[in-house]
């Protein structure tokens, strides 16, 4: 992949992946024949989005290293430490790297300066996802989950998003990530997203019974946040944050 491809990929929204899959799925109708396969389609879309985002993290690091030899030495020659860039910690590290470069040019830079900006991000991402899924066969067959997602994501407090200059979302209790308050709901969502990502990527269900645990069935927090549409939207929101920050970085590099 050459640099132009890198940059085009970084700039391209993950929403494109969603639109492509949803459009293809529309050809299958919404009868019993689609009901039998729609779970696999949603899982495939989820893996495509997580995989694309992980690759985008690596591309951003590569671009930073191309423009900064000191960063190249620290991030690569001392040993790559971010694994697949799938964990929230790894993504926070890439975000921190990107923000540190921006702040060398503009020390006072803040990506989202106030709650109104964060709420605008939340609302724009929610409307983007609703625009992709509404009135599709996927939405019709998952109407309850989709409505629950809209209500949950639409009511997220701005404090969940970008609480400081080097962090994407507000973290919670690492030992008990489902201990939720109104400021760390996204942390619980990402914990469940990451667990599901690992299960899908490593096909963990191939040796497990497809039966939910009783503790999960009775856990209201788990039931509320273990929602594939919440997973899609959280990935898309993180992508939008990176795209905006990288665009700002590109302009600084171009005109400095």
* 105-120 tens-digit pLDDT: 999 999 998 999 999 9
Q: d(Cα 210, Cα 203) in Å, to the nearest integer?
A: 12
Residue 34 vs residue 57, higher pLDDT:
57
User: What band does 202 get if pLDDT is binned at 50, 70 and 90?
Assistant: confident
Please give the torsion angle defined by the CA atoms of residues 77, 194, 249 and 113, in that order, rounded to the nearest 10 degrees.
Answer: -140
Instruction: Give the burial string for 119-152 (b: 16+ CB within 10 Å, else e).
Output: eebbeebbebbbebbeebbbbebbeeebebbbeb
pTM (2 decimals)?
A: 0.95
Residues in the chain: 256
Of the listed ranges 38-42, 49-53, 119-123, 210-214, the one predicted with least confidence: 210-214
Residue 169, beta-bridge partner list:
161
Q: d(Cα 135, Cα 151) in Å, to the nearest integer?
A: 17
User: What band does 124 get if pLDDT is binned at 50, 70 and 90?
Assistant: very high
* 125-157 tens-digit pLDDT: 999 999 999 999 999 999 999 999 999 999 999
């Amino acid at each position: 992949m050459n640099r132009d491809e890198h940059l085009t990929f970084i700039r391209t929204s993950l929403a494109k992946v969603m639109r492509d899959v949803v459009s293809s799925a529309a050809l299958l109708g919404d009868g019993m024949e689609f009901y039998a396969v729609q779970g696999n389609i949603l899982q495939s879309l989820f893996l495509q989005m997580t995989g694309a985002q992980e690759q985008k993290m690596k591309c951003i690091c590569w671009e930073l290293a191309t423009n900064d030899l000191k960063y190249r030495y620290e991030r690569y020659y001392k040993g790559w430490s971010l694994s697949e860039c799938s964990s929230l910690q790894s993504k926070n590290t890439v975000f921190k790297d990107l923000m540190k470069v921006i702040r060398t040019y503009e020390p006072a830079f803040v990506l989202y300066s106030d709650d109104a900006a964060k709420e605008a991000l939340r609302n724009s991402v929610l409307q983007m996802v609703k625009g992709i899924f509404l009135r599709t066969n996927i939405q019709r067959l998952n109407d309850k989950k989709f409505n629950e997602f809209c209500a949950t994501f639409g009511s997220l407090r701005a404090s969940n998003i970008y609480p400081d200059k080097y962090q994407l979302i507000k973290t919670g209790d690492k030992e008990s990530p489902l201990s939720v308050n109104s400021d760390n709901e996204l942390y619980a969502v990402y914990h469940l997203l990451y667990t599901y990502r690992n299960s899908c990527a490593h096909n963990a269900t191939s040796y497990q019974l497809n039966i939910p645990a009783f503790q999960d069935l009775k856990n209201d927090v788990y039931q509320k946040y273990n929602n594939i549409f919440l997973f899609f939207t959280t990935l898309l929101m993180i992508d939008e944050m990176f795209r905006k920050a990288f665009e700002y970085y590109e302009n600084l590099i171009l005109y400095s």
